[in-house]
């Protein structure tokens, strides 16, 4: 099932790129494997996927360990996409390629502290709540510049761009405005020439809306259900 779903998603990515004149290589697919067993991740790896997204630190580390035993020769990349508690940051040092969900200066400071202790660089995106939903994490769009100015002081953090989780909607066209505005925000901030801040990544689009997100400039799309099927939360 996973193999077939991946082919299907790949086709849609290619079509979306073609529609808007982008090169397929500008878009990185993150296979969101949260709640799914390592057997399914293995199937995805066998079909050529090597980049996975998880939203819980413990679950991510457990899966990394299991897969290291099963497939020691595989080079995998893990992205933390879910809300991150400060007391979990320490465990992530050296274990994560990108943290997509930095949503406060306090969290950024914790990342700086823990990564500096091990002399590692943290690669992050700042999560913006574009639709201003009460139920979502992420900073407000108008706070983004100020937070980036503060983060730019941290020597062990490199900000690569912005991330958003759009509302759950029936018609993905409804989310186009949020993707477009996140892109605009990225461009605006780049024009301000903040020291150490030069961003080119946009993490936006999930199973329901990744094609629209690609048309609006996404460089990372985070697809779970479309690859691994529906999730069951126990
Ligand atoms: C779960 C999750 C996804 C994937 O959602 P699907 O709709 O299953 O594709 C993407 N991004 C984040 C932040 C998530 O938590």
Give the pLDDT band of residue 234 (cuts 50, 70, 90). low
pLDDT at position 209 over 90: yes
Pocket of ligand 1 (CB under 6 A): 32, 34, 55, 81-82, 165, 206-208, 222-226
Report pLDDT digits (tens) over 6-37: 999 999 999 999 999 999 999 999 999 999 99
pLDDT at 232: 85
DSSP 142: G
Hey, which residues does 54 pair with through a beta bridge? 80
Spell out the residues 6+ positions from residue 183 whose beta carbon is closer than 8 angstroms to its own. 202, 216, 217
pLDDT at 34: 98
Atom of ligand 1 nearest to the CA of 231: 8
Instruction: Return d(Cα 169, Cα 20) in angstroms, integer.
Output: 23
Give the pLDDT band of residue 195 (cuts 50, 70, 90). confident
Report pLDDT digits (tens) over 136-169: 999 999 999 999 999 999 999 999 999 999 999 9
Counting ligand 1 atoms within 8 A of each CB, the residue from 29, 206, 231 with the most, and so the one to mutate, is: 206
- Using CA positions, which residue lies closest to atom 11 of ligand 1? 222
pLDDT at 127: 98
pLDDT at 196: 81
Q: Which of 49, 82, 85 is nearest to 67 (CA)?
A: 49
- Percent above pLDDT 90 for the chain: 94
Counting ligand 1 atoms within 8 A of each CB, the residue from 12, 60, 81, 203 with the most, and so the one to mutate, is: 81
Residue whose structure tokens are 């400071």: 109
Q: Which of 72, 76, 112, 116 is nearest to 96 (CA)?
A: 76
76 Cα–ligand 1 center, Å: 19
Token code pair at residue 109: 């400071």
Report pLDDT digits (tens) over 53-99: 999 999 999 999 999 999 988 899 999 999 999 999 999 999 999 99
pLDDT at 233: 73
153 Cα–ligand 1 center, Å: 31
Predicted structure pTM score: 0.97
pLDDT at 103: 97
82 Cα–ligand 1 center, Å: 9
């Amino acid at each position: 099932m996973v193999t077939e779903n991946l082919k299907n998603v790949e086709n849609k990515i290619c079509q979306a790129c073609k529609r808007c004149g982008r090169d397929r290589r500008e878009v990185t697919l993150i296979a969101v494997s949260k709640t799914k067993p390592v057997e399914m991740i293995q199937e995805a790896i066998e079909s050529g996927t090597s980049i996975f997204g998880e939203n819980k630190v413990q679950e991510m580390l457990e899966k990394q360990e299991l897969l290291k035993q099963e497939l020691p020769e595989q080079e995998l990349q893990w992205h933390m996409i879910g809300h991150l508690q400060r007391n979990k940051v320490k465990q992530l040092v050296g274990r994560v390629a990108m943290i997509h969900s930095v949503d406060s200066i306090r969290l950024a400071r914790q990342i700086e502290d823990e990564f500096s202790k091990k002399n590692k660089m943290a690669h992050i995106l700042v999560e913006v709540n574009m639709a201003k939903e009460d139920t979502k994490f992420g900073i407000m769009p108008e706070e983004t510049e100020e937070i980036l100015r503060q983060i730019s002081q941290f020597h062990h953090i490199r900000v690569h761009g912005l991330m958003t989780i759009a509302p759950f909607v029936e018609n993905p066209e409804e989310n186009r405005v949020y993707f477009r505005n996140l892109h605009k925000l990225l461009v605006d901030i780049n024009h301000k020439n903040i020291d150490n801040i030069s961003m080119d990544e946009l993490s936006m689009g999930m199973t329901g809306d990744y094609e629209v997100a690609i048309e609006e400039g996404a460089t990372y799309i985070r697809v779970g259900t479309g690859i691994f099927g529906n999730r069951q939360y126990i």
